[in-house]
Structure 1
Amino acid sequence: MTDEDELWHELVLSGVGGRTIAEAQERISYQEFIAWARYRAKRGSLNVGMRVERGTALLATLYANAHSKNGGYKISDFAPYHDEPVMTLEQAMEQWS
């Protein structure tokens, strides 16, 4: 599934554009779709459940890292449906140093 497909699913599940993906694709212009994509990239998921899960996972990560000896927990350890952020080349080079 592509990022575009995921966004169409998310828009319809959030009640934007119509009750089906086909209906939303007929009603939403390309410019509006791009605007929604920019909004989602800046503000995160439109899915309330995923937003709550991410917040809860962040708290669980902070708690687990504060109470463990190695502190190696990541948010994805507590939110399995969230993708890990993509590492940039600069970040990878810093880790290798």
Structure 2
Amino acid sequence: MLFELALSGIGGNTIHQVKSNLTMLEINQWAEYRDIRGSLNIGRRVEQAAANIIAMNINKELKFEDWVEPLEFMPHEDDVEIGFEEQLTD
């Protein structure tokens, strides 16, 4: 979590600066924010927003069965992994 805060410039630009400038309470609050809202990486958030807009524009002209997922337009996003239980049901 500390490196992500440092990369985002929250509390400083190095892990040492983040440790010295933020309290443990603030770090925990940022961790909770990240869990609720997603990544602090602005590039990733822009990529997700752009993919959602592209998918929405394509899907408005297609039938529901043919819709594309926004994930198809996010080259830097990890693939969704299927859990063990879901693999058994397939």
Q: TM-score, with normalisation over the residues of structure 2?
A: 0.64
Matched pairs, number: 88
Query: How far apart in 2 are the matches of 1:81 and 1:59?
Result: 17
1:18 counterpart residue number: 12
Structure 1 residue 55 corresponds to structure 2 residue 38: no
2:24 counterpart residue number: 30
Query: How far apart in 1 are the matches of 2:55 and 2:41?
Result: 21
1:75 aligns with one of 64, 70, 76: 70
Highest relative contact order (Cα 8 Å, sep 6+), 1 or 2? 2
Structure 1 residue 42 corresponds to structure 2 residue 66: no
> Unpaired runs of 5+ in structure 2?
none
Deviation string, structure 1 residues 26-75 (Cα, Å, up to 9, x no partner): 43333322211110111222233222211110112223344457525322
Q: TM-score, with normalisation over the residues of structure 1?
A: 0.61
Larger radius of gyration: 2
The structural deviation recorded for 1:79 is: 1.1
Query: How far apart in 2 are the matches of 1:22 and 1:71?
Result: 50
The structural deviation recorded for 1:20 is: 0.8
Query: How far apart in 1 are the matches of 2:74 and 2:23?
Result: 33
> Unpaired runs of 5+ in structure 1?
1-6
